[in-house]
Each structure stands twice: as C-alpha cells, then as structure tokens.
Amino acid sequence: MATKLDKVDVVVVGSGWAGGVVSAELSKAGYKIVMLERGKDQKRSDFIGVKDELRYTNRHEMIEKLTNDTITSRVSISDAALPVRLHKEMNVGTALGGGSMHWAGSVYRWRSYDFEIRSKTVERYGESKIPEGMQIRDWGITYDELEPYYAKWELTAGISGEPDPLGDHRSIDYPNPPMLASPAIKLFKESAKNIGLNPYQMASGNMSQTYTNPDGETMNQCMFCAFCTMYGCDFSSKSDPLATVLPTAQKTGNCEIRTDSLVRRVIHENGKATGVMYTDTKTGQEFIQPADVVVLAAFTFSNNRLLMLSEIGEIYNPETRKGTIGRNFTGQFNSTFLGARGFFEDKKFNYYMGAGGLGGALSDYDADIFDHTDLDFIHGGGIELRQYGDAAIKNNFVPKGTPSWGPEFKEKSLHYAYRSLIVWYSAAVMPWWHNYMDLDPTYKDEFGDPLLRITNKITDQDRNIAAFGIEKCAEIMEAMGADIIDKDELPDQFDHTYEGMHYIGGVAMGEDPETSAVNNYLQMWEMENLFVVGGSALPHFSSHHPTPTIGALAYRAAEGIEKFLKEGGMLAEPKKVGY
Amino acid sequence: MTNKDSKGMSRRNFLKSSGLVAGGLVGGSLFGGLLTSQLQKGEKDNTKQVTAEPSFEARTFFSRNEDFDILSAAVERIFPEDSRGSGAIGLGVPYFIDRQLSGDWGRNANDYMHGPFPTIKKTDSYQEENRSNNDVINTSTEVLVPANTPRYQTKMNRGVFFLEGLRAMEQTSKDKFGDRFVKLETEQQDEVLKMFENGEVQFNGVDSADFFSLLRQTTIEGVYADPVYGGNRNMEAWRMKEFPGPRMGFMNDIETEEFLVMEPESLRNYQGHN
Ligand SMILES: Cc1cc2nc3c(=O)[nH]c(=O)nc-3n(C[C@H](O)[C@H](O)[C@H](O)COP(=O)(O)OP(=O)(O)OC[C@H]3O[C@@H](n4cnc5c(N)ncnc54)[C@H](O)[C@@H]3O)c2cc1C
Ligand code: SF4
C-alpha cells in the first residue's frame, strides 16, 4: 500500500528547466513545493574531471537508461511498433536538472510567425497553402504576449548573444555579450555576408563573461573546453538548472527536492487532481504526495504517458481525429539538420576547441521571412555553423566515396581531421493527423504499464524543406571556399532515432478544447488544477531549438499557477476555432 | 602551422583569465579537488607520458583464443598500421573491445531487452517501405508486421553478438577461401569483411551489416577513446590525429588563426592521478 504524505501547495514532477522555473517562482512567492525527480541527485562538483568522450558521448552517461522503460516507434498507423532498445537511440534527461544539464546551449526564440502560423499563412498565401491533414494552428498566444517571458528566462539563464538582424522585436538586450568568434565562424559569417545574407553570432547558454542573474546565482565565463553537449559543465559556465533555478528554489526554504522518485500516476477525483503516486526507486516503496496543484514538467514523453496512464483527457485517435492527448506530435529527426560538409585542402581549424552554443547563424531562409508562393512547403529553417568542439572518436569525417574503414580511411580521416566544416539547416516540422502518441499494445515497463508509442512519418513537406535547405547550405559552403562539398542526402523515412530531445507536443496548447489539451497558461482544459509544462505544450516544431520557448512558457505557467492558487478557476476562455 | 608544446591553458593562466579568483569561487566546493591536485602537480608534469599498463593486456571476456585472434586480425584491417603509426593491434584495441564486452555495454545493461523480438529481414524492406507510406485505417495493430528498420531488435546482447559474428566470419572464410580467417591474405580478409559490410551473410536472424557496423564503430572507439579504457595506447592515436585530449579550456586560443598542435594529455593527467 502506498504511504500517504502530508499535503503541500504544489507538487512538481521533473527538475529540468520547466520544473525548475515553476518551482523557483512559486517558492519565491511563498508556496510550499515538493519537487519529484526520478533520477539521482547530483551536484555541480560531480562534473569535475568528466571530459571523457567514450563515457559521455558514446556511452551516454547522463542520458536516461532504457533498461526498464523506453518508447516504441513506428512510421505508419498500419505498422506494429517496435521498442527503441538501445540507450544511444533515445536521448532523454534523467538525474537532478534533467536533460537541461547536458544540453548544448544554443539559444533561439521562436518567431512571431510560429505563434499565429495558421492565420499568417492563410493571410499571405490563402487557405490552399495548408495541405489537408496538416494540423497547424495559432497557439492562443502571440509573440508579443510571450516576449516578456522570453526576456525573463534569458536574464535568469544569462544568455550571451547579439540580436538577429532579421529577428523579432526584443524588449531587452541579451544580458551578456556574444561569445568570441573562432576563425571558422568568422569565415562562415564573412562568406554569408558576401553573398548577401545576414549572419550573426548565435546566442548561447555558455557564459561569455562571469554573470550573476537577477536571483543572485553566479555563473563563470566559458572556457571553450569542448566537452559540453552531453556533459555537465565542470566550470559552471553552462546555464543549467543546477546553476540557476534549483538553488534559487531551495534557498527560499519552501522547496523540498526528492530524487529517485519515479512518478507513476496523477491521482484525481471528480475532475480535480489530488496529488501524485510515486515509487522510491531505491527501496521500491510507494508514496502518495497530495497537493492543491499538480505540475507535470517531466519532458514530452513522461508528460504524455502520465496523462494517458492516469486516464486524464482523451487519447488522440487518428481515425476520428478526435481526442487531444498525444495529438500534434512533432520532432526534429533525420530529415532536419541536413546541409553540406566542406573539405578544405589548405586550411586547418582548431576544432578540438569549442562550446555547445558556439556558432554563427542566419535567418534569411527561416519561418516566413522569404516568399513561399512558389515553394512546395511552408515555414523554414535556420542555417548554422556550430563549433561544439569535436573529440577524437567523433572527428572522422571523410569525403563521400571514401571507404569507411581500411588504409584509405585511416589516411583520409587523419588528413581531413580539422579540415572539414559543416553548415546545416534546422528545418521546422509541421504536425500531421497521422503523427501522434498513444500507448503501446504489446510492450511494457517494469511495473507492467504500457510503454508510450510514437507514430511518426516523414512527409513531402519535410523532404521539400530539407532539399531546399541543403542547397542553401551548399551555396554558403561554396562561398566559404571549400575544395570538396558533400551535400547530405534526404532520408527515405524516419529512422526511429531520438537524439537531442527535440520532440514535442501531445499536450499542446491552443484556444479550442476540442483540439488542444492546455490553455495559454499550460492549464489543462479538463482539470483546472493540473498544469503540464514543457515541450509537450508546443503545437508544432519551429525551425530552432526548443528550450528558450519551454523556459518562457514555464514562466508564464508559474504566473498562471500563482493566479490559480489565489483565485481559482480557468485562466483562459475556451474558443471554438475547429483546428 | 605552429607546434606549441602543451600550450592550451596553464593552470595559472586559467585561474587568471577565468575570473574565478575574482569571483571568489575557487575556495568553494566546485573547484576544490581538481584544481588543487592540478596546481600541486605543477607545470612540469603536464606532458608526462602515460605508459601502457601491462595489466590491460589480459582477457576478461573472450575465453577462446581463436575468437580473440579473429577479432585482432579484423580490427587491424579496419584500422591498419601504416607510415603514420600503429594500427588497431598496436593501439590495444582488441583488449579495449574485450573489456567493453565484459561490462554493462557488452551485456546491454542500459538497453531495453524485453521481448517480443520479431525477426525483421532486410529482404522484406521494399515491400515494407511501400506499406509504411500507406496509412491503412481500420486494421488491428496487434496482427501487423513491424516495418523493416535498421534498428537493434535482436535478443542477443553485444557480447553474444560479437562471438556469433566473429564465428560467422570464420565460417565464411572457410567456405569462401578454405582457410581460417587469421590464415588468409589481407586482401582475402578484406573481402570477407566487405561481404559482412554489404550484408551478404545472415546469422541468427541478424544481418552481417549490423555486426560489421558495430565492429567498425567499436574499433574506432578503441582507437580514439581515452587510454584509461585500454586502447589508444600511449595516446598514440591522439598524437596521429593532433588531438590534445581533455583540457581545462582554450579561452586564450579560440580566436587563433593558425592550427595549434599540443602534446596530448589524458584523463589521468587531467584528474591528477600522477
Ligand atoms: C544532447 C542534447 C543537446 C541539446 N541542446 C540543446 C540546445 O542547444 N538548445 C536547446 O534549446 N535545447 C537543447 N536540447 C534540448 C533541451 O535539453 C530540452 O529542451 C530541455 O532540457 C527540456 O527541459 P525540460 O525541463 O522540459 O525537460 P528535462 O530537463 O529533461 O527535465 C525533465 C525531468 O523530468 C524527470 N522525469 C521524467 N519522467 C519522470 C517521472 N515519471 N517521475 C519523476 N521525474 C520524471 C526527468 O528525469 C528529468 O529530470 C538538447 C538536448 C540534448 C539531449
Ligand atoms: S565549453 Fe564552456 S560551457 Fe561548455 S562545458 Fe566547457 S566550459 Fe562549460
């Protein structure tokens, strides 16, 4: 029998950016919070001396182990899904701070076009531009409404950057100047400028200088050590929850964090959440944590699965296109981040140096900045040159046609180490009626609960946008003077590899409870004291990394929760819009 | 190109440029252990070569000599010795693989290994791909066949997969060339490896291409991983590739135009276990 614990104001599931922001804000406001995190406890000093490529990049030390819990995956609703079995095939965060600890730190706001994508597309090109079955909608919030929350997150996270010349309105400058530009980034920017484009230094969650945020948390200047993406930062120079929101929450004395606590159900009665049930993964003991408000901030997959297992809301059914939970699943998978790799005979770049968010970028082919009248897709992508810093196992790039092993491979991989650069297109991904999440009929976790099942197909829209982007990247690579240019190839179909945590939706926000699960405060239409925070709320995948938008919406949700705790009730009026 | 021995960032410069001293964080828990040991070590030890531990050179996974010999011959063809330096054998890769297979990774401890395990053959792929592009509504999912994907769907863990794969290579050598893999000419060994790479051999319901790609990737890992794992002996592969190994950072050099070659350092240096 589960042990029932004392009631608190708010229970928050998950300790990443999403859960961290909500807990920091509510505990500062004086509410009693319990945060439940399934993974282990960790502190910043645990990352000292972890610059070990095999252990972190290849063996995924910081990534959730799939031993007892994974997802199943298929392309079409007429396939049987198979489990994603290998640890390396799915990146999801675990341990205190979540996936937000081993992120790279490239920072983009999403575009004004995103938030009103349906009306803006129709307005410019007419209804017929949106193909049947593409489930895009306006989000129920505009860019201008969300802007102050973006600003708030950027100040907390200490973002380093300069404005995108083609970007939307900003109320604040980035709190820190942009990162230094390496010779490769300078080459990218100068060459792009020469062909009439508008490059800038990518904004980053790596600190360009020592910085203290408005909550009094200090982060150090980034050292460009290059063991960044997939690692915890041992200098506390990467903005993450352990450096920011978690200590802010804890020092109020109002937030208790319990690690090794796997939440398995949201408990509810008469349409109201009463708490959550969780298992202590070290003892196997079960607990019930009652609360006035339940916040799910356990990343896309757990947020969706917990609602489905707890029988809250109606699971989306592609046959009827009814139901909201699991609907609008999108992700940046193998048709995105394609581009062109250039090999330079007489240049060598210090590419063993770098940082997760170090790069040059441009937005000339992003969102609706360019005319789509004669194009067979909507939306766009950012173009980036990133200098993560490549360690030795990864850095084995050879021109196409070179064997992948043997004497010629050895010779060329050594010759071209530090002589190649890639420019890629971070294409946006639209939601379709046939891409969604539900529960798998066959595969189970250690408790006998069904796994989450993903159905995801790459569409013509995805192929067309990628083909367009690859050409643009190749043009830039040519301007950069590469001797050999290898263009990426379009994939036949989805490869069931879930890298980088760019998968979202399923508890998507909107104005119409028929098609959306949460309102623009991420409050469930069906259960007013349940808030579902994180990428699960995003109705489509824009052309950039998701975290700043997750952070901004978490600030918005925190504001809504506080309002709800004071006044109760629905925080937004439902509308009937039909999509 | 300049050859700056162990430039990178000295500990003292690191402290100066990071502003850590100013920020007063050095005394805190964050930097405690590592910096102290690094600072005490002094500049001289930075480039100290780590010599191979002879105790790495014993097997803890492979019990049959024959299996280990096939592995050694195969990885040497994947990353052969040449004028630039050692091949996989000289770098200790067979021992690296042996140790990897005896641990969590070799036993797929962090992977989802619960059934059912359907067999998916490459030969079905065209048919399946076409079907995957059609959404047929109203079919019961339970009776459907999984679409072909290159995913790991075997019940064998990597250790078993390696043993079976190496033995399948041995069998293929005997069938095709009438001799054991290790006795073949290198061109013949390459031919067997190519047959595996092209998926021309099937064993235990898996495709040889999947085995080859695992063998190839693990070999590269053994060549270039930190020497603590038993491969990349003496950091020779890092020297060949001009990779400096783990460093505190490169803040002073990130804008430098010329390519900087540094004498590599390993985790052992970095963590201060000298
Ligand atoms: C390698 C990598 C690089 C990335 N780089 C970037 C980047 O450059 N820019 C960018 O914008 N984004 C990047 N991302 C994505 C970014 O990490 C995520 O968008 C972000 O971490 C999401 O924050 P979150 O709080 O929603 O989820 P998380 O940080 O993952 O937090 C969710 C937490 O919930 C916990 N949890 C899950 N289920 C349960 C349960 N049942 N019970 C209890 N706890 C549970 C998890 O253990 C986890 O700690 C990257 C991701 C990866 C993996
Ligand atoms: S590159 Fe910078 S932010 Fe990233 S881990 Fe190294 S010091 Fe930290």
DSSP symbol at A127: G
Range of the domain at A227: 3-567
Q: In the numeric block, which tokens belong to residue A330? A: 């999108």
Tens digits of residue pLDDT in A428-485: 999 999 999 999 999 999 999 999 999 999 999 999 999 999 999 999 999 999 999 9
Ligand 2 in reach of A469 Cβ (< 6 A): no
Q: Is residue A577 part of a domain?
A: no
Residue to mutate among B135, B138, B161, with most A CBs inside 10 A, is B135
**Ligand in nearest proximity to the CA of B18:** 2
Q: Is residue A483 part of a domain?
A: yes
pLDDT at position B204: 84
CB contact under 8 A, B250 and A224: yes
The SS3 call for residue A369 is coil
Rounded CA-CA distance B179/B186 in Å is: 13
User: Order of strands across the sheet with A420-425?
Assistant: A200-201, A359-362, A383-386, A420-425, A338-343, A484-487
For A424-444, give one letter per residue: b (16+ CB within 10 A) or e: bbbbbbbbbbbbbbbbbebbe
pLDDT at position A303: 98
The SS3 call for residue A486 is strand
CA of A16 to the centre of ligand 1 (A): 6
Mean pLDDT over each residue of chain A, to the nearest integer? 97
pLDDT at position A524: 98
pLDDT at position B274: 66
**Ligand in nearest proximity to the CA of A102:** 1
Chain B residue with CA closest to A48: the answer is B34
Whether the CA torsion A129, A143, A163, A202 is positive or negative: it is: negative
The SS3 call for residue A199 is coil
- A214 and B CB contact within 8 Å: no
pLDDT at position B207: 85
CB contact under 8 A, A406 and B80: yes
Ligand 2 in reach of A369 Cβ (< 6 A): no
Chain A residue with CA closest to B1: the answer is A348
Q: Which one of A379, A434, A496, A502 is the catalytic residue?
A: A502
Residue bearing the CA closest to ligand 1, atom 9? A106
Q: Is A415 marked active-site? A: no
CA distance A353 to chain B (A): 6
Mean pLDDT to the nearest integer, A319-336: 97
Rounded CA-CA distance B122/B130 in Å is: 14
**Set of chain B residues whose Cβ sits within 8 Å of the Cβ of A417:** 241-243
pLDDT at position B6: 39
**Set of chain A residues whose Cβ sits within 8 Å of the Cβ of B78:** 405-406
- B9 and A CB contact within 8 Å: yes
Give every CB contact of residue A384 below 8 A, 6+ residues apart in sequence: A106, A202, A359, A360, A361, A423, A424, A426
Rounded CA-CA distance A205/A175 in Å is: 11
Total number of domains constituting chain A: 1
For a pocket test of ligand 1, which of A302, A531, A553 has the largest count of ligand atoms closer than 8 A to its C-beta? A302
Q: What DSSP letter does each residue of A377-435 carry, written as one string? A: S-----EEEE-----TTT-----TTS-SSSHHHHHHHHHHTTSEEEEEE---B--BTT-
- B211 and A CB contact within 8 Å: no
Q: Is residue A578 part of a domain?
A: no
**Ligand in nearest proximity to the CA of A447:** 1
pLDDT at position B132: 44
CA of A294 to the centre of ligand 1 (A): 19
Residue bearing the CA closest to ligand 1, atom 47? A94
Tens digits of residue pLDDT in A472-496: 999 999 999 999 999 999 998 999 9
Q: Is the peptide bond before A131 cis (omega within 30 degrees of 0)?
A: no
CATH code assigned at A227: 3.50.50.60
DSSP symbol at A90: B
Tell whether pTM > 0.90: yes
Low-confidence ranges of chain B (pLDDT < 70): 1-55, 119-150, 274
CB contact under 8 A, B250 and A79: no
Which residues on neighbouring strands pair with residue A342, listed in sequence order? A421, A485
